[in-house]
Amino acid sequence: MRRLESDEIKELASRRGVKKIAVENFLISMIANPNRYCATQNAYHDQKLYGWNTATINAILDGIDLSYDTEVRDNQ
């Protein structure tokens, strides 16, 4: 996993219909998740807890994918 750059997070958080603060806060603090599964489960848990809409959870999941997919590509 790599830490997302601030411009990557800003781009995800500026999508139409997302809760900007939720996307920014989750993706900035995502480094605390030990793996993709934990990050994804944590996102779904927070979605239920905070009532995030579909656009918000999709932006967060895309950020998780971006963070972990880059690591896989870098290691090949």
pLDDT at 34: 76
Asked if residue 21 lies in contact with residue 12, where contact means CB atoms within 8 angstroms, the answer is no
Of the chain, the percentage scoring pLDDT greater than 70 comes to: 91
pLDDT at 42: 95
pLDDT at 2: 86
Which residue did the predictor score with more confidence, 31 or 61?
A: 61
pLDDT at 40: 96
| Helix, strand counts (H, E) of the chain | 4, 0
Is residue 76 predicted with pLDDT exceeding 90? no
